[in-house]
Structure 1
Amino acid sequence: MSMDLKIKISKKKTNIIYFIIAFFMVSGFLINDLRFPRFIIYIADILNIWLFINAFHYYEKKKGYVCDREVIKPLTIIALFLMLSIISLIYNTSSIVTYLWGFRNYFRFFMFFFSCAVYITKNDFDKIVKMLYYLILPNIVVASYQYFVLKADGDHTGGLFGFVSGSSASLNIYLIIMCIYFALKYLRNECKLSQFAYIVSAAFYLAVIGELKVFFIEFIIIIALAFLLSKKASFKSVILVAGASFILIYANTSLNSIHEYTFRSDKSGGILSITNLMEYLSRDSGYVGDGDLNRFTAVQILHKMFFSNDLIGSLFGFGLGSADYSSSISFLQSQFYLNYNSLHYQWFSSSFLFIELGYIGVVLYLLFFILILCKGIKCFTRDNDNRFYGAFIIIMIPMCFVNFIYNISLRTESSGYLIFCILSVMYVLQKENNVFTNEKVGL
């Protein structure tokens, strides 16, 4: 039986969510460029835990009527993931210290996902994207300075995400979200062509100087899916596809020109050709070409190296945190990391998770995203008022799968909090439709 309940959402809790998102959009720049102490990121950990405890308490108090009750499905997967981590810890007799560090690195995002589902609305989702929109120009300015003045290579050109190795992975997530949102808005006549062109041009510029080769493939997928999910082909759709194709071709030329201008033509020349790109992504010599792991064969190689005759080990891994590390706290560096970090397994979420929690861990982790995708499809096909958000998730989840294999962005705070907040939108839509009703609750 459906119920109409009115709920009051705590503005203070919502503002903390805004703060955490905004903070991690610039934390890399604060720490790596402006030399703020790294411990400031742990302030967000404290806020995140406090937020989760309050969200859980509120959820129980209101008997679940604070968000879509189907949130229980991904929460069940999270619970199974937790159980697996404990079983693997006991089986491997792993270090409790590294386990707790690994727990923090995964479950902080699950906790934030739940808090967002409880405390934000779809209006908050739009406000968060609006905040991201206003950060485009600062990102362009900072990234240009890093690239042309500091002579950073692409992997270090992260804009506000910082002048540090791997920061471009978080930049990639940021660009994905912006392109999905505004492509769908443009096709719904809710965004001007000039605004969409600004987004795409900025994204391509940042992708070129950040050497985000995968972004150009992601962009093609985004445009194709946005086109397919639009109600019908239109002149705007034709402009979108034609314009995107032109910009993609232009970006290929620009990539070589910029690197030649900055004396780095040997880095990425011609990488956007299909032949060179596929060779780069699948070469046997590994990611950096010195015998380390390749992102597409990493799990297969790690299985042969460590679990070829160990079925249980391949299913459960070495234990959560057993391959983890901290770049600033030495006692949090696991023995596995000290022995095998040269393989660069820690650069890809897929290989990192496989080593620690095996095939079962990988399946459970991906199932979390699959359930959200199913929710997005259901929303898109059955809820005309929220088709936009369903379409957004239908495009976003494949991007998560790509980045699960391609980089470590699902595990890092600078992009992880943003991703899991964005995914929670599927479970907040009913709050705008007044599906929930009950007495007002002041928090």
Structure 2
Amino acid sequence: MDLINIFLLLLCLGYFGLRRQSVIQILIIAVLITVVGLAGYMSWGTSFAQYIWGMRTTLRFFIFLINCYYIFDMEDICKIWNVLYKLLFVNVIFATYQYFGRGISGDMLGGTFGTLMGASGYLVALLSLVLTYVTSLYVYKKIKIWKVSLTYAGVLYISILAELKVIYLLLVLIIVVSAIISKPDPRTILIVAAAVILLIVALRALAVLNPVSFGYMSSWEDLIFYLNNSYTSEGGFSRMDSIPRINELFFKGSFSKEMFGYGLGQCDNSNIEVLNSIFYERYGHYNYRLFFYAMTYLEMGIAGLFIYLMFYIGILINTVRCSFAEYKEYKLMSILNILIIFIMFVYNYTLRSDPGYIWMLACAVPLVCSKVKRTETTTK
């Protein structure tokens, strides 16, 4: 995958050149990440090979984003999202078999993405993009309410089997933001009603199939306890306390560590033994790799977090500014996707692992649309 990614980038740069503002901006972000990661490595790192591996792990997504920008047009984007939509229902079948036929649930239930630990990360990305897609189509009167309801039901069904509690939160976010952005009308009331009814049914089903997971969502106090609780081992980091714990256990008031971290790759692990960091071998039991923002803070400090946040905020601003012409539904979809990415920043590690390609594909949509707009302007 990496070789194909680089090969396509070289072809695109050779053919189109660098005369694209969006590409230059993406490359600037990539360079900043490389420099900040190098600053941390120069101060506290232990292995240059691990730094190079960290560059590979991080920069591959920006290369993929540039390739998407060069290769795709809006017709391609429409076709891709139509495929993702159909893939949802294929995953309903796979998830049903994995849960009821093989007894697989939780993080290992990944539908068409397999049954290895962490496979559900792909499902979270797919289900999120499908939710924003059908909601946006409905808001702009491209599909009817029965199709939206069927899609919501399929998404919630999979989320029950895979114990993806975050999907409930995302659906609420999607409905609320869509209702705020779009003009209130009977269709808005209808989709809100459909979402509420399906959420109630899904929660009742979750209470029967997985009462422990339901218990975490039964009250505000239980939800806060869940967010503050470690994923696995006792003493591990949680979604809410990672930065304070990192400061307490590792950085200990060091300004350079807080600003630049330990360097790219210096806290990571790999299937290749030589690329396993000493830091991970000693402290991996804290499970900091489960959360993107925790891993980023460890390796690149405040500077790294700032760069990533500015990147996604920049994509959001570009989305709001772009007119999207006859593709208005993709503007709403892109806004919703970026908001979800901010949640993924804290929720899990998928922005840096392989499902990150799916999230970068979502980031490519407003860039592709703005490219089309500029091309039309130039032609005129």
TM-score (norm 1): 0.81
Confirm or deny: 8 A CA contact 1:109 1:416 kept in the other structure: yes
CA distance in 1, matches of 2:269, 2:363: 27
CA distance in 2, matches of 1:312, 1:189: 53
- Cα shift at 1:193: 1.9
Confirm or deny: 8 A CA contact 1:324 1:334 kept in the other structure: yes
Confirm or deny: 8 A CA contact 2:133 2:333 kept in the other structure: yes
Matching residue of 2:305: 362
Q: 1:397 to 1:104 in 2, by over 3 A?
A: same
Mapped pair 1:55 → 2:12:
yes
- Cα shift at 1:431: 4.7
Q: Deviations over 1:12-66 (max 9, x none)?
A: xxxxxxxxxxxxxxxxxxxxxxxxxxxxxxxx111111011112223327x33xx
| Aligned counterparts, 1:55-204, within 5 A | 55-60=12-17, 63-64=19-20, 69-204=21-156
CA distance in 2, matches of 1:148, 1:269: 19
Could you list the runs of 5+ residues in structure 1 that have no partner in the other structure? 1-43, 260-264, 439-443
Moved more, 367-376 or 329-338: 329-338
- Cα shift at 1:436: 6.1
Matching residue of 2:368: 428
Aligned residue identity for 2:89: L
Mapped pair 1:308 → 2:252:
yes
- Of 304, 307, 331 in structure 1, the residue corresponding to residue 274 of structure 2 is 331
CA distance in 2, matches of 1:182, 1:390: 13
- Structure 2 residue matching 1:98: 3-state secondary structure: helix
Matching residue of 2:315: 372
CA distance in 1, matches of 2:199, 2:88: 19
Q: Deviations over 1:338-369 (max 9, x none)?
A: 11111000111111111111111111111110
Q: Deviations over 1:415-443 (max 9, x none)?
A: 211111221121222454442658xxxxx
TM-score (norm 2): 0.94
Confirm or deny: 8 A CA contact 2:54 2:264 kept in the other structure: yes
Aligned residue identity for 2:363: L
Confirm or deny: 8 A CA contact 1:321 1:334 kept in the other structure: yes
Matching residue of 2:195: 244
Aligned residue identity for 2:178: A
CA distance in 1, matches of 2:139, 2:56: 40
Matching residue of 1:441: none
Moved more, 303-312 or 82-91: 82-91
State the structure with bigger RCO (CA 8 A, min sep 6), 1 or 2.
1
CA distance in 2, matches of 1:308, 1:344: 19
CA distance in 1, matches of 2:45, 2:121: 33
Matching residue of 1:13: none
Runs of 4+ in 1 over 6 A off after TM superposition: none
CA distance in 1, matches of 2:45, 2:243: 23
Aligned residue identity for 2:122: S
Identity of aligned residues (%): 30
Matching residue of 1:222: 174
Aligned residue identity for 2:329: F
CA distance in 2, matches of 1:289, 1:335: 20
Q: Deviations over 1:111-162 (max 9, x none)?
A: 0001111111111111111111221222112212222222223111111122
Matching residue of 2:338: 397
- Of 223, 229, 234 in structure 1, the residue corresponding to residue 185 of structure 2 is 234
- Structure 2 residue matching 1:135: 3-state secondary structure: helix
- Cα shift at 1:70: 4.1
RMSD of Structure 2 on Structure 1 (CA): 1.8
- Structure 2 residue matching 1:322: 3-state secondary structure: coil
Aligned residue identity for 1:403: M
- Cα shift at 1:329: 2.0
